[in-house]
Amino acid sequence: MIERLRSYGIVAVFCVLFLLLAITSRSFFSFANAANIMDQSAILLIFAATTTILIVAGVFDLSIAAVATASAILTVIAVNVLGPVAGVLAGIAFGALLGLVTGLAITATGVNSFIGTLAASFTYRGLGLILASGGLVTIESQAAAEALQRISVGTYLGLKGIVWIALAFVLVMEVLLAFTIFGRMVYAVGGNRRAAFLAGIRTKRVLVACYTLSGLGAGVAGVLYVAQYGSGATNAYSDTFAFTAIAATVVGGVSIFGGSGSVWRGSLGILTFALIGNGLNLLGVDTTYQLTILGLLIFLAVAADQVFRRSERV
Amino acid sequence: MVGETSSRVASVGGAMSAPDPVVRARNIVKSFGATRAVRGVSLDIPAGAIVGLVGENGAGKSTLARVIAGVHAPDEGDVSIAGRVRHLRDPHEGLKAGVSLMAQEISLVPEATAEENVLLGNLPRRGPFLDRGAMRRHYRELAELTQFDIDPDAPVSRLRVADQQKVEIMRALSQEALLVVMDEPSAALTVDQVERLHHSIREMSRRGTAVLLISHFLEEVLELTSHVAIMRDGELVRQGPTAEETVETLVAAMVGKALATEYHERKEQATGPVRLSVRGLSRPGVLRDVSLDVRSGEILGLAGLIGAGRTEIARCIYGADPRSAGEVTVDGVAANASHPAEAIAAGIFMVPESRKEQGLIAGSSITDNVTLATLGAYSRGGWLDRGAMDARARRLAEEVDLRFQSVSQHVGTLSGGNQQKLLFARAREVQPRVLIVDEPTRGVDIAAKRAIHAKLAELAAEGMAILFISSEIEEILGVCSRVLVIHRGQVHGEFRAPYRQQDVIAAFFGQHLAAI
């Protein structure tokens, strides 16, 4: 009973919140508003998907926002040199490469992932500054910029391109974690790294693959920034994105200790945050208070989880 | 004289002891869950005496010592120190009452300096401030007295173990402890360091501090102590003057009950071809030149004291720890694994020593745990065939007689014995040619234990070569027809059924008993 409550508590919270808003606010229950929520959440859905995989594996990646920023800048440079298609691919590959480097460095040295990726985050932000020569880089070809913008901001079946791309990315990550051999290994490494090692799983390779995926996701986020704005800036994504992704994952019910959870939970966490923000807006709550309220709600969710955990042990 | 009328407690020293022991433990009983570690032991320690405490693995020596030092409160009985009954609640109170414990694991503050650690309990003050000058004077006095030469400003974490022990000894002296309890102080020391440790133990005794010395090194006990107490299965076998004991008498007293009849003694030796062959396996500071062979159908026992190197041998063979030298072959083919994955590919599988920490993923299902080492077999182009996994897990779980409701059940909800059976199901799934099992029956009930022994015999009968590690001597002699005793990282002796238990135990302690 308690187990089920803990597992599906977030689903209940989401539904209750949804109904509450639908009843109290006339403008909430409309396709336009839903599309708006999805649009605002698209990038965070990508970040939360890879963050979930890493937390399931028992590690954190605080560098994703910095990687995404560096990728955005590299994408612009690459598009200017190689054209839009090769440029976009280069941007994504660059993100994955940075993730790979982080993963290799952390697994080779055994540095704690929290500190290791925090250091990586400074490093990659600095790298972005160097690539951008300290400022803003812009796509030179008007045609390329417009093509990218058409794909990302143009609407298909009522939703913007970035929303479809984000949903596709989340789906791929969900499948990867839930239905593949790699996914089982991620759960095993996060659940008990020593047991996984002694069962013959190459735990370090699994972790490096996780960091690389995280970088890949950040690369996609970087490309999407460029596609929307036609430029890459050194402040494209603030580190708040990384923290929000972690918070949403935990609120979604993914264990912070690793070994359990699903990608959809991270997504649901993000959408819950969006609902709260959207609801507070529609209900006319002053934006000054919104962040405080959100913070308290996150704490409440995690505290409730902790209490359930404790009663489970007895 | 010694005609104390009321004393029903046997005094360790008998006629030689002073009338008032400095520490007197009476009828101590201490249990941990269902395990009765100490069962009504009385022990007197005369002032200034060096008293040895010996016994096999799990005899209850450390528990008794910890009760005396205040680490554990006894369930029954009491400890009096300097004539007063004390109810110590923690080692800090023990220190204040005059009992200092040097545990198997060092109990110093690692980041503080040697001087600070020595004087930690009673730092000299001047008003609210530390009196650094007085500290240094006090430290110098102690250093001169003990002739220890340790830099007072060196952080303890940077000292070698031998020097850390010296710091503990100086601390005990500085607190003017009445009794210092030492649990295996020489286990981590080199020969010349042991000599210096002995010197300082004698020095403490000369200054009136009694020492209770727990040691696996029987010669050390015979050489150093004036009295010795022998424990077995939580009870005191005998206590008396050391002068009346020899290695043989000590070992004889430590030997437990005769081989229980629950084991059908396997007398016949395995005759199959050699499956696992290990030659010259070494790991600096841990293993030296270990060679062994295990035949098809054989269960070879690795016996020895805890920390002797049995698990380390297993981990090196399995590729879980690095080795500096050594060759491993399986059926004549090189199997020098540097990762468990390579060992598994070469036909070796290990069931590790602690189920929870190293064996299972508690939050995952039975299916996921059974198939953990063989995920590749359920891959259809990287996709998992969950149906096949569940079916296989269910079949294996039934085969090893696992008590479960559903294969999607979390393994954390299973009992210890069932968790161990689950690891056997995983071993079954891997189908290795060589199986290493490390302490598979620790903490499981007798029924599960029997089931595990039967499972091992069954696997061996199918032709597997099994390397079996256990700290329980009756078990290992009962299950195996051949046993290697490991002592200080080396193979110290080979024994074949029928066994003389005292010979095997003597080998545990690095001794060879003269053949009768």
Q: Does B371 lie in the same domain as B304?
A: yes
Mean pLDDT throughout B1-12?
39
CATH number at residue B212: 3.40.50.300
**pLDDT of res. B372:** 93
* Inter-chain touch A180–B343, beta carbons under 8 Å: no
On the question of pLDDT at B2 being above 70, the answer is no
Domains and CATH numbers, chain A: 31-313 (1.10.3470)
**pLDDT of res. B267:** 63
CA distance A67 to A75: 12
On whether residue B127 sits in a domain, the answer given is: no
pLDDT tens digits, one per residue of B236-271:
999 999 999 988 888 888 875 544 445 555 567 888
For B427, name the nearest residue in chain A, comparing CA atoms only: A199
- Determine contact, residues B385/B449, Cβ cutoff 8 Å: no
Tell me the chain B residues in contact with residue A200 when contact means C-beta distances shorter than 8 Å: 339-341, 343-344, 373
Tell me the chain B residues in contact with residue A202 when contact means C-beta distances shorter than 8 Å: 339, 341
Q: Measured between CA atoms, how close is A83 to chain B, in angstroms?
A: 34
On whether residue B119 sits in a domain, the answer given is: no
On whether residue B112 sits in a domain, the answer given is: no
How many helices and strands, by DSSP H and E, does chain A display?
13, 4
Closest partner CB to A200 (pick from B344, B364, B382): B344
Mean pLDDT throughout B474-503?
89
Mean pLDDT throughout B333-356?
94
**pLDDT of res. A5:** 62
pLDDT tens digits, one per residue of B220-240:
899 999 999 999 888 999 999
On the question of pLDDT at B447 being above 80, the answer is no
Here the tokens at position A166 are 């984000």
Tell me the chain A residues in contact with residue B368 when contact means C-beta distances shorter than 8 Å: 184, 187-188
Q: Measured between CA atoms, how close is A314 to chain B, in angstroms?
A: 12
CA distance B349 to B341: 9
User: How many structural domains compose chain B?
Assistant: 2
Tell me the chain A residues in contact with residue B359 when contact means C-beta distances shorter than 8 Å: 195, 198
Q: Does B228 lie in the same domain as B79?
A: yes
Confidence of residue A269 (pLDDT cuts 50, 70, 90): very high
Q: What type of residue sits at position A64? A: I
pLDDT tens digits, one per residue of A22-79:
888 878 888 888 899 999 999 999 999 999 999 999 999 999 999 999 999 999 999 9
On the question of pLDDT at A81 being above 50, the answer is yes
| Of B261, B381, B444, B96, nearest in space to B422 by CA | B444
Q: Does B182 lie in the same domain as B247?
A: yes
Q: Does B342 lie in the same domain as B473?
A: yes
Which residues are bridge partners to B235 per DSSP?
Answer: B232
Question: How many pairs of residues across A and B have Cβ atoms under 8 Å apart?
Answer: 78
Confidence of residue B414 (pLDDT cuts 50, 70, 90): confident
* Inter-chain touch B368–A180, beta carbons under 8 Å: no
Which residues are bridge partners to B216 per DSSP?
Answer: none
On the question of pLDDT at A313 being above 70, the answer is no
* Inter-chain touch B364–A199, beta carbons under 8 Å: no
Q: Measured between CA atoms, how close is B384 to chain A, in angstroms?
A: 5
On the question of pLDDT at A109 being above 80, the answer is yes
* Inter-chain touch B376–A181, beta carbons under 8 Å: yes
* Inter-chain touch B372–A196, beta carbons under 8 Å: yes
**pLDDT of res. B508:** 84
The answer to whether A7 faces chain B, any CB pair under 8 Å, is no
On whether residue B441 sits in a domain, the answer given is: yes
The answer to whether A176 faces chain B, any CB pair under 8 Å, is no
Confidence of residue A265 (pLDDT cuts 50, 70, 90): very high
Q: Does B38 lie in the same domain as B69?
A: yes
On the question of pLDDT at B5 being above 50, the answer is no
Tell me the chain A residues in contact with residue B340 when contact means C-beta distances shorter than 8 Å: 197-200
Q: Does B407 lie in the same domain as B317?
A: yes
* Inter-chain touch B384–A180, beta carbons under 8 Å: yes
On the question of pLDDT at A2 being above 60, the answer is no
**pLDDT of res. B353:** 87
Q: How many CB atoms lie within 10 A of CB A255?
A: 20
Range of B87's domain?
14-105+178-254
* Inter-chain touch B364–A187, beta carbons under 8 Å: yes
Tell me the chain A residues in contact with residue B350 when contact means C-beta distances shorter than 8 Å: 198
On whether residue B438 sits in a domain, the answer given is: yes
Q: Does B68 lie in the same domain as B203?
A: yes
Mean pLDDT throughout B125-146?
85
Poorest-pLDDT segment among A135-139, B332-336, B441-445: B441-445
Report the sign of the C-alpha dihedral through residues B306, B312, B318, B320, in that order.
Answer: positive
**pLDDT of res. B448:** 78
**pLDDT of res. B257:** 52
For A187, name the nearest residue in chain B, comparing CA atoms only: B364
Closest partner CB to A180 (pick from B358, B364, B383): B383
Cis peptide before B74 (omega within 30 of 0): no
pLDDT > 70: percent of chain A: 95
**pLDDT of res. B188:** 64
Instruction: Give the H or E element holding residue A150.
Output: helix A142-153
**pLDDT of res. B261:** 45
Angle at B248 between CA B183 and CA B2, to 5 degrees: 70
Q: Does B434 lie in the same domain as B353?
A: yes
On whether residue B250 sits in a domain, the answer given is: yes
Mean pLDDT of chain A: 91
* Inter-chain touch A201–B372, beta carbons under 8 Å: yes
Q: Measured between CA atoms, how close is A24 to chain B, in angstroms?
A: 40
pLDDT tens digits, one per residue of B73-127:
999 999 999 888 888 888 778 888 888 888 655 678 888 899 988 888 777 888 7
pLDDT > 70: percent of chain B: 91
State the complex-level ipTM. Answer: 0.85
**C-alpha distance across the termini of chain A, in Å:** 14
On the question of pLDDT at A122 being above 60, the answer is yes
Confidence of residue A249 (pLDDT cuts 50, 70, 90): very high
| Of B178, B161, B180, B159, nearest in space to B115 by CA | B159
On whether residue B171 sits in a domain, the answer given is: no
Q: Does B207 lie in the same domain as B324?
A: no
Closest partner CB to A179 (pick from B318, B352, B384): B384
For B314, name the nearest residue in chain A, comparing CA atoms only: A198
Of the segments A5-19, A174-188, B496-510, which one has the largest average pLDDT value? A174-188
Q: Does B329 lie in the same domain as B190?
A: no
Q: Does B220 lie in the same domain as B306?
A: no
On the question of pLDDT at A244 being above 60, the answer is yes
The answer to whether A23 faces chain B, any CB pair under 8 Å, is no
Tell me the chain A residues in contact with residue B373 when contact means C-beta distances shorter than 8 Å: 199-201
For B362, name the nearest residue in chain A, comparing CA atoms only: A191
Here the tokens at position B10 are 């046997």
B260 three-class SS: coil
On whether residue B89 sits in a domain, the answer given is: yes
Tell me the chain B residues in contact with residue A181 when contact means C-beta distances shorter than 8 Å: 375-376, 378-379, 382-384
Of the segments A20-29, A123-132, A300-309, which one has the largest average pLDDT value? A123-132
Mean pLDDT of chain B: 85
Confidence of residue B361 (pLDDT cuts 50, 70, 90): very high
Q: Does B367 lie in the same domain as B235?
A: no
